[in-house]
Chain A
C-alpha cells in the first residue's frame, strides 16, 4: 500500500539522481580507502581524467556516443513495456552490417555515400537481430528478457565464427578484419576543428556523436509527438487499454523492438567507422548493458539519456585514468564504481525518494488537488 512519493519535477529529475550519484561515489570512496588509496585523490583523478583535459573530454564523449545509441534502444523498448537486454547483441550484429558496408564501399565511394549506406545497414542488421525475439514475444509469448539474453550469446558466437573463419585478414593471428578503406572513416572532431583553425587534442570523438544527438531528437519526436508514439506508450503502459483502443499490442511489440535494435545497431558507426576502422572481436564491450543503466538513470527520456550517457562516458574514461595512475586500483575497480552507480540510480532509486519527499513541505502548492478529497493514494 505504500505509495511512491511525489516530488517536484526538478527534484525528481535533477536532485534525486545527484543524491544517488553522490551516495554511489561515497561508497566507492570507502572501497578505495579499504584498498589503501586516498578517496579524495581518486575522485580528483577520476574527474580530471574525464573532464580535465581536451583529450579526456574527447574520450568521454566518444564513450558516451556508444551509450546514447544503446540507451535510446533500451528506452524505446521500455516505452512499449519491453525490457530489451539484447542491445549488446544488436549492437554487435548492427556493427557487422556497418562494418561490411565499410569494407565493401570504403575504397570505392565517397564518405557521403558510404555513411548513409552504413547507417542503414547498421540499423537494418540490428533491427533484424531484434526481430526474432520480438516475434517470439508477440506471437508465442516467449519472454523477451530471456530471448534477448540468449541472442546476445548467439551474436557473440556468430561474430567469433565470422571473424575467425571468414572476415579475418589473411596471414594474421588476431581475429580482425582488414582495415576499412579511407573513405569509410568518420572524421574525428579534432580533425574537423583543425580544418576551421581550432586546435583540439586528438581523441576518437567523431562525427557519430552528432548522429547520436540526431537519433535522440528523432526518438523524442517519435515517442511524444506522433500517432505511432502514442500507440506505443499506450501499449507499453496498459495492454488492456491498448486492445480496448484498437491498438494491436503484438504489432507494437515488433515495431518497437525493430526500432530498438536499429538504434543499438548504430553503435558500429562510432566504434568501427569512427575509431577502430576494422571489425574486431567484442567491439561493443558491454555498451549494450551500460545502455540499460543509462536508460534507467535517464528516466527513458532522450535528454536524460544524453546526460546519463555523458556521465557513464566520464566514468569509463576517468576510470581508465584511475587504473593507469593508481597502482592499487585496476579496471575491475572501475566496474565496481559503475556497478554502484547503477545500483543506486536504478535498483535503489526509492531509498532516497521517500526521505526527500518528507522534507518537502512546499510541494503541496505546486500540484493541484482534485476537489472532493478523493485522491487517497493507493
Chain B
C-alpha cells in the first residue's frame, strides 16, 4: 500500500475524552493520508466535534497521542494546532464582520506593531494563494458585504495563510446552496491535488459520497467503521451511523389537499432596521398537504415563519385563519394558538424550550394558562406531570422522566417533546421550522413519519427547512424563497435538486408559476 510508505498527514492514536459522566471519545484511532479528503460522519452527539476540537487544541484529550506528518505533537491550544499546520473552518464563521477580507486574514498574525508592512506582505501572498487554488476573493471588501459562500472562502484562506497543511471543515455546506456547495467541493479537490489533507465533518451522506476518498463513521464516541468511499453506499453508512437499518426516504401516499385553512396575502415583514425581509409574499395552505419552504438560510424564511406565528409584526398584508385576519386584529401567539395554529420554532434552544426547566414544565410552554394545566391561578402539578408522561409515551421520548431538565435530553428527544406539545392540542395548522435540526437519524425518521401522519389526518403543514433532502422528502408543494420573495412554486413531482438550486440562487423561473 502506498499509504504505508509515507507518514500520514494526521494520525490519532487511542484518543480518549470524558466530560464528567459522558464518555465522548473512547480510544479513537484513525489516520488521514496526505493529499486526501477524509470524511468524518456520525450523528449529533457521536463525538465528531469533540474529536475535532481536540485536534484543533480547544480540548485536551484525557489520553492518547496525536501525530502530524509522523511527528508527535502536543496540542494545548489552537495556536499549537496552527503551528503544527492544522487549520479549521468552523460551521459558524469566526470573522470580524466589519473588517475587510485582508484585515480578517491577517488578524492575529499581523507581524509587527505597524500594520502597513504586514498587510502588504499578506496581499502579495494571498494573491498567490488565490491564483494557486482558484480561491479568488475581493481583498478590500468588508466581510459583511460578501455572500456566505465567499465568507467561507475567506475562512479557508485564513487557514491557508497560516500555513495549514491539514484543513478541517465542520459542516461546511450547512449555509450553502447546492451550487455553492459544488464550488466548495471543486476547491477542496484542488487543495487535495496540491497535496493538502482535508477532513470533512458532516452528517450529510450525499456529500461524503460525492467528495471524500475515505470515510470514518462514529457512533456514541467510538469509531464503528472506516472504508474507502468508493466501496460503500449511503445505506451502509447510515446503518453504521445509527446501528440499525433506517429508512432514508419518507414513505407517503399522494396528498389529497382539501379546503384552504391559512391564506397569506402580500405579506411584508421588516426587521428592526426597517429592511424588508419578507417582500409581498402570498400563498395558500390547504388541509391535508405539506408545503415546504426551501431556501438558503437567511432569505426571509425565518421572518416569514415568525410573522405567521405572531412573534413578529408584519408591516403589510394579511394572514387569514378561521375567518380572522390575524394581522389586522393584532392577534398574538396566544390568540393564534386558540384558533388552532401550532408552531414548532426553528431554533429549539433559543425559542422552543427553556433549557433550565424540567421536561414537564417545557411540555406546557405556551399552554400554561389552559384549563388542563391549572386550577384557578394555580398550576396543577399532578395534571402537568401526567400529561407529560402521556406525551413522552406517545412520542417515544427517552428517558421518560418528566422531572429531568430538558437540557439533559438529546436534541432528538427535545424535538420530539416540542412536537408532542404542539401536536397534542390538535391544531388545524402546524408550522414547523427546521423539523430535524440537531436531531439524530433515528429520531428524524420518527419525526418525518409523525408529520406525514398529521397531513393524512387532514392538517395543513408548513415546513421551513434548509435541508433540501428534507423538503424533497416531505413536501407535496414547494415554495422557494430568495431575498425575501417567493421566486418559485413547484409541485413535488416537478421539483428536482437542480431546479431548486437555481431558484434558491435567485434565478427566477421563466413566467409565472
Contacts and interface: CB of A to CB of B under 8 A. Distances in A.
Contacts of A237: 354-357
Contacts of A246: 310, 332-335, 337, 366
B401 interface: yes
B213 interface: no
A238 B355 contact: yes
B410 A241 contact: no
A243 B336 CA distance: 13
Contact of A245 (B333, B355, B409): B333
The main secondary structure of chain B at its interface with chain A is: loop
A230 interface: yes
A376 B50 contact: yes
B356 A373 contact: no
Interface in B291-326: 309-311
A172 interface: no
Given A1-B53, A231-B368, A369 B350 contact: no
7 contacts: A225-B381, A228-B377, A240-B351, A246-B334, A367-B408, A376-B24, A377-B19
Given A244-B352, A374-B43, A374-B411, A369 B345 contact: no
Interface in A191-233: 225-231, 233
B433 to A, nearest CB: 11
A5 interface: yes
Contacts, number: 132
Given A244-B309, A369-B21, A376-B24, A226 B377 contact: yes
Q: Which of A363, A371, A375 has the most CB of B within 10 A?
A: A375
B73 to A, nearest CB: 21
Interface string B346-374: 01001111111100010011101100011
Nearest to B439: A374
B112 interface: no
A246 B58 CA distance: 39
B404 to A, nearest CB: 7
Contact of A376 (B19, B309, B345, B365): B19
Q: Which of A226, A237, A245, A364 has the most CB of B within 10 A?
A: A245
B191 to A, nearest CB: 28
Given A246-B366, A372-B412, A375-B22, 7 more contacts: A3-B20, A244-B365, A246-B310, A368-B401, A369-B22, A370-B408, A373-B46
Interface string B414-436: 00000000000000000000000
A373 B356 CA distance: 20
B398 A230 contact: no
Contacts of A376: 19, 22, 24, 45, 47, 49-50
Interface of A: 1, 3, 5-6, 225-231, 233-234, 237-238, 240-241, 243-246, 357, 363-364, 367-377
B220 A372 contact: yes
B410 A374 contact: yes
Contacts of B356: 237
Q: Which of A227, A237, A377 has the most CB of B within 10 A?
A: A227
A360 B413 CA distance: 28
A245 B409 CA distance: 21
Contact of B311 (A3, A231, A244, A368): A244
Contact of A370 (B44, B46, B355, B413): B413
B350 A375 contact: no
Interface string B11-49: 000000001111110000000000000000001111101
B343 interface: yes
A231 B367 CA distance: 11
Contacts of A374: 43-45, 410-412, 440
Task: List 7 tightest A-B contacts by C-beta distance, closest first.
Answer: A246-B334, A374-B45, A374-B410, A245-B366, A246-B333, A373-B220, A240-B351
A355 to B, nearest CB: 14
B59 interface: yes
For chain B, give the interface size range. 35 or more
B398 A372 contact: yes
A3 B361 CA distance: 23
Contact of B368 (A3, A230, A371, A375): A230
Contacts of A226: 377-379
Contacts of B410: 370-372, 374-375
A243 B311 contact: yes
Nearest to B343: A244
Contacts of B398: 370-372
Contacts of B334: 245-246
B399 interface: yes
B345 to A, nearest CB: 6
A296 to B, nearest CB: 17
B378 A225 contact: yes
B416 to A, nearest CB: 12
A309 to B, nearest CB: 25
Nearest to A369: B21
Nearest to A248: B332
B221 interface: yes
Nearest to A372: B410
Interface string B206-241: 000000000000001100000000000000000000
A371 B45 CA distance: 11
A103 B43 CA distance: 71
A370 B377 contact: no
Nearest to A371: B398
A229 B378 CA distance: 9
Given A228-B377, A231-B368, A241-B351, A371 B47 contact: no
A367 B21 contact: yes
A246 B343 CA distance: 12
Q: Which of B21, B311, B334 has the most CB of A within 10 A?
A: B21
A370 B409 contact: yes
Contacts of A375: 22, 45, 408-410
A36 to B, nearest CB: 46
Contacts of B44: 374
Nearest to A5: B20
Contact of A240 (B59, B350, B366): B350
B58 to A, nearest CB: 6
Nearest to A231: B368
A367 B409 CA distance: 12
Contacts of A233: 354, 357
A353 to B, nearest CB: 12
Q: Which of A230, A231, A233 has the most CB of B within 10 A?
A: A230
Contacts of A371: 398-399, 410
A370 B22 CA distance: 10
Contacts of B413: 370, 372
B412 A245 contact: no
A230 B370 CA distance: 13
B20 A377 contact: yes
A363 to B, nearest CB: 8
A246 B350 CA distance: 15
B20 A372 contact: no
Nearest to A244: B351
Interface string B395-408: 00011010010001
A50 B379 CA distance: 41
B311 A373 contact: no
A153 B90 CA distance: 48
A364 B19 CA distance: 12
B366 A227 contact: no
Contact of A241 (B365, B381, B399): B365
Given A237-B357, A370-B410, A372-B220, A357 B379 contact: no
Nearest to A221: B378
A137 B368 CA distance: 25
B392 to A, nearest CB: 12
Contacts of B24: 376
